[in-house]
Amino acid sequence: MSGSAARVAVITGGGRGFGKAFGHAFAGEGMLVVQVDIDLAAAEAAAAEIGPNARAMQGDVADEPAMHALMRTIAEEHGGIDLLINNAGIHSAEANLPIGVLGTARTRQMFDVNVWGVIHCTLAARPFMQGRKGASIINISSMAAYGSQMAYGVTKLAVRGLTASFAHELGGEGIRVNAIAPGLILTETIKAELPEDVRSRVKAMQIVKRDGAEEDVVGAALWLASPAASFVTGETIRVSGGATLQV
């Protein structure tokens, strides 16, 4: 499909979880999806599963020069970039600790990926998205950005701030920037890492009393990237079953 007129989506953290689910969804919409992951084997497996509209590339979002080179390569091979989903992140239960417990080295690593990764990828993709009809960036925040005192939640609060900042900065170039803050979504990682009592406690906070599914987050992303959301930018949409509802 190189050189074709297909719209192009770049999805970081594309080897598994939300990233792979986004790839399936946007490939199903006829886009060429580039699954970027620090784990090339995972990205290749995801692309093979998604099908002929998918490509795999290795990339560490914390590496600024590498991200600029990667976005340039994608744009040169496929004619530009229409959608960027900044999904890559450190989010394991082991990282969801107070900063003093997590330690400065691990906290710095998490900021490098969760916060600086969004900055690196956004600025790297920017020149190849300017002026393209429907150009859109979707960042992945978290319900932990609302009231969390843990290091992970602080990084996802920063993602909300970056979303608003980049919406202002890139709006004049025709690029919309929004974010999704998922609640408790029963991905394979969450099932493996989060104890049942914690999951039950979070579900008790929800208004919608069911488990969240990847499809809930994917549906929000499809809408945000669509013409139906063309008047929406700078927003963080909470997909949490009402667990983080505020007025």
According to the model, what pLDDT value does residue 190 have? Answer: 77
pTM for this structure? 0.94
pLDDT in tens, the chain (247 residues): 344 569 999 999 999 999 999 999 999 999 999 999 999 999 999 999 999 999 999 999 999 999 999 999 999 999 999 999 999 999 877 778 899 999 999 999 999 999 999 999 999 999 999 999 999 999 999 999 998 789 999 999 999 999 999 999 999 999 999 999 999 898 877 777 777 888 888 888 889 988 899 999 999 999 999 999 999 999 999 999 999 887 7
For residue 35, report the phi and psi dihedrals to the nearest 5 degrees. -90, 110
Query: Could you tell me which of 51, 52, 59 has the C-alpha nearest to residue 14?
Result: 59
According to the model, what pLDDT value does residue 247 have? Answer: 72
Which domains are assigned to the chain?
A: 8-239 (3.40.50.720)
Which candidate in 152, 158, 182, 218 is catalytic? 152
According to the model, what pLDDT value does residue 123 have? Answer: 98
Burial of residue 58, with CB atoms counted within 10 A of its CB: 0-12 exposed, 13-18 middle, 19 or more buried: middle
Whether 152 is a known active-site residue: answer yes
According to the model, what pLDDT value does residue 4 have? Answer: 53
Residue with tokens 């939640």: 153
- The angle subtended at Cα 53 by Cα 79 and Cα 218, nearest 5°, is 100
